[in-house]
A and B are shown apart, each in its own frame.
Chain A
Amino acid sequence: MAMKNFLLYVFKIFVLTFVLMFIMDKVYSYAFLQSNKRSKISFIYNSPPTNYDVVILGSSRANNHFVTKMFTDKGLKTFNFGMQGSKLFESDLVLKLLLEKKNKIKNVIIDVDVTLKSENKSDGTFLKFLPYFDDSYVIKEHFKELDDFNSFYYIPFYRYLKFDSKIGFREMFFSVLNKKGNEIDNGGYSSLSENSGNLNTEVLDYQPHRNRYYEEIKKICKKNNINLIAIMTPMCEKAIVNDYFKKVNQLYPEIYNYENIVTEDKYFSSCGHMNDMGAKVFTAKILNDFFSYECD
């Protein structure tokens, strides 16, 4: 009898835990719908639809290289959705999400170079989509092939528990307060400081591959009549590229190669990332090459 009572007691604790996780999952998910200032994903998800002239996608090499203000100064409604560590898996999802939220886009600039090597998710970036997992059809569909999909889908609160440092209580609390994060400052562009004089060499010793997410981005742009501008952005002079960029062009001839447009060390923060000065030189070139007509 004592054992039966104990097993019942433990069962009740499990039920209580499950109920609490279910309630908290709903509370957290609701809270993340309250702010559009915490991250680029919350900005897309919780902002009213916008007509964009230019949307910038990609990794940190997009985030740190395209100066949004220079676009907007030319009268182009622009936002830089490039994210640190993001891969084409996330860039594809950002584009899908923008369209799901009824945004209108004329041009997409996407940084496609070193990200071509992988079709995996980016651990640091994909989790930012998770609070909207239940609410968004495209996120759910996009994540269906992930190993953790069933855990995210069927275990309430699992996603918040697993990535507590990024989407846990603190982030939820700040979303409720609508406290501004720094990701959406400067139209999403994040500038880097100058290097201290000793740039480390970066070696590209891998091969580019055909990438399903890039292919998907191309299809989406075509279907929605969006002008896609795929670009390989600059690397420093010391970079040992092993013809990587040429190989990318053999795979995808439509990708513009801007690898050598800016090369001097003074324009770089690290070998793969330009500083603010380099980004401005580079952005000016892009504006001139692709938007001079629209600007005129």
Chain B
Amino acid sequence: MFFNSLAFAIFLPIVFFLYWFVFNKNKNTQNTLLIIASYYFYSCWDWRFLFLLVFSTFLDYFTGIQIEKSNSEKGRKFWFWLSISVNLGFLGIFKYYNFFASSFAEMFTSFGFKVSPFLLNVILPVGISFYTFHGLSYVIDIYYKRIKAEYNFIDYSLFVSYFPLLVAGPIERATHLLPELKEKREFNLEKAKEGVYQIVWGLVKKVVIADTCAVYANAIFDHYPSMNSFSLIMGAIYFAFQIYGDFSGYSDIALGVSKLFGLDLLRNFNYPYFSRDIAEFWRRWHISLSSWFRDYLYIPLGGSKGGLWMKIRNTFIIFIVSGFWHGANWTYIVWGFINAVYFLPLLLSNSNRNNMDSIILKWNLDSVKVLFSILTTFLLTCIAWVFFRARTITDAILYLKRMFTNGEFSPQYLNNERYNYELLLMIGLFVLVEWNNKTKVEPISGKRSWLKMALAIMAIIAFGTYSDYKEFIYFQF
């Protein structure tokens, strides 16, 4: 059941009605309904994986309590490592086992040994990376005594499996979401309206921007050997907007839906393509994952407290692990590595926290510099996205090689019976709208909200892509 499907359009009002009119007695009834709804939502993909979700929930709930209850450090460590190893074990088996097995087999084959690896014939459970990280952060926080263990199983289950964030985030923290779940929610008109604005804007991003860009990006990436430089540049830009619209659109809908139930989730995107350097980009892109890796990997590894080499090592580790988190493919690892390389000059010059202020443009030379740095950051990001989108590293390298060496910049007719430049105007308009609203969560609220709402709905109806349906990209992660 996708957020942009008819099934969800029926599911959401039913849950909303039951939540506010039938199960509104206290927070326990509210949470119970949301759990039932969440499990139903998840079982719409594959009910068998529900057992995995329930087991993972129960494991972290139980080990969390045991860590807190243990009198000895040995006991705490035992329960902590049990939870970590089982969680990562599931992730490893379902997501990474085949990758490692085939990679080792390829390595042995290159040394002249013929190896036939035993591969698992399993599909990746939807959202496993997301709910595993929810559970991990919870257990780690208890172990380091940042939070108390949650004894109410209903509340804890909802924290892990709350349907708006279950399959593609944002990756919530127990410190943020659990306190909200401990209180009975009262209906708030303004919050609910904000939620509607965010849902509508999320749909614009998904069906108008992401799915339309996908049609062009696919036509270019799938036939890159016959594309000219202009098409390949456009392909990278289209994919950049596809993945941004897709993922941030999903997050907007998740946050919006949550507001309808009186719950605030962590913001996941903050106009990342207006970043002035790559460090700022990572503070604005998939914020919940970046901060997760910062808090649970980078800082435990020593963060930036050690010497220069320690900083460099830790930076490369978190970027590569972050790439690998996205998928079991070398392309994601290289994508992470490239981002670490981009980050390195900022780290060495100690300027990775230079652009913490908001962007204000005026008619002066400084603003030209700011625009130039935004454009440079975007282009660097696009180059990295080529690795993220390509099937193999070889494809990505050949794509970029052809992009830089072909030298033809003429309009090209693509396999989808469209010209390569046709979306430029739409993307330009989208960037303009985002730029003018970069201090807000979405552009619909505020003055003349009805007019903006009408325009957004018109865009969804007229410019949305429906016949060539695309799943949300991050569902596969």
**CB distance A164 to B466 under 8 Å?**
yes
Partner of A164, one of B418, B422, B450, B467: B467
| B46 contacts the other chain (CB 8 A) | no
* Binary contact track A1-18/B, C-beta < 8 Å → 1, others 0: 011011001100100110
Known contacts A16-B453, A16-B454, A165-B215; is-contact A5 B461 (Cβ 8 Å)? no
Interface residues on B, range: 20 to 34
Q: For residue A166, which residue of chain B has the nearest CB?
A: B467
Known contacts A6-B189, A20-B457; is-contact A165 B465 (Cβ 8 Å)? yes
Q: In whole angstroms, what is the CA distance A161 to B469 when docked?
A: 12
| B463 contacts the other chain (CB 8 A) | yes
- What does DSSP make chain B's interface, helix, strand, loop or mixed? helix
| A21 contacts the other chain (CB 8 A) | yes
Q: In whole angstroms, what is the CA distance A162 to B461 when docked?
A: 10
Q: For residue B17, which residue of chain A has the nearest CB?
A: A7
Q: In whole angstroms, what is the CA distance A290 to B439 when docked?
A: 74
| A24 contacts the other chain (CB 8 A) | yes
List of A residues within 8 angstroms of B467 by Cβ: 162-166, 168
* Binary contact track A144-179/B, C-beta < 8 Å → 1, others 0: 000000000000010001111110111000000000
**CB distance B188 to A17 under 8 Å?**
no
Known contacts A6-B189, A10-B196, A16-B454; is-contact A24 B465 (Cβ 8 Å)? no
List of B residues within 8 angstroms of A165 by Cβ: 215, 465, 467-468
Q: In whole angstroms, what is the CA distance A21 to B462 when docked?
A: 9
Q: For residue A165, which residue of chain B has the nearest CB?
A: B467
Q: In whole angstroms, what is the CA distance A230 to B34 when docked?
A: 63
Q: In whole angstroms, what is the CA distance A162 to B422 when docked?
A: 21
**CB distance A5 to B189 under 8 Å?**
yes
Q: For residue B189, which residue of chain A has the nearest CB?
A: A2
**CB distance A3 to B196 under 8 Å?**
no
Known contacts A161-B464, A169-B463; is-contact A6 B458 (Cβ 8 Å)? no
| Nearest CB in chain A: distance from B22 CB, A | 13
**CB distance B466 to A162 under 8 Å?**
yes
| Nearest CB in chain A: distance from B213 CB, A | 14
Partner of B461, one of A6, A20, A163: A20
Report the number of A-B residue pairs with Cβ-Cβ less than 8 Å. 53
Interface residues on A, range: 20 to 34
Partner of A2, one of B187, B450, B464: B187
| B176 contacts the other chain (CB 8 A) | no
List of B residues within 8 angstroms of A5 by Cβ: 189
Partner of A6, one of B187, B453, B454, B463: B187
Q: For residue A27, which residue of chain B has the nearest CB?
A: B462
**CB distance B464 to A164 under 8 Å?**
yes
**CB distance A20 to B454 under 8 Å?**
yes
**CB distance A21 to B196 under 8 Å?**
no
List of B residues within 8 angstroms of A21 by Cβ: 461
Q: In whole angstroms, what is the CA distance A151 to B119 when docked?
A: 46
**CB distance A13 to B465 under 8 Å?**
no
Known contacts A16-B454, A17-B457, A20-B457; is-contact A2 B465 (Cβ 8 Å)? no
Q: In whole angstroms, what is the CA distance A17 to B462 when docked?
A: 12
Q: In whole angstroms, what is the CA distance A16 to B200 when docked?
A: 13
Instruction: List the interface of chain A (C-beta within 8 A of B).
Output: 2-3, 5-6, 9-10, 13, 16-17, 20-21, 24, 157, 161-166, 168-170
Can you sample 12 A-B contacts with CB below 8 Å?
A2-B187, A3-B20, A3-B189, A6-B187, A6-B193, A9-B193, A13-B453, A16-B453, A161-B461, A164-B465, A165-B465, A166-B467
Given contacts A2-B189, A165-B465, 16 further A-B contacts (CB under 8 A): A5-B189, A9-B193, A10-B196, A13-B196, A13-B453, A20-B454, A20-B457, A20-B461, A24-B461, A162-B466, A165-B215, A166-B467, A168-B462, A168-B467, A169-B462, A170-B422
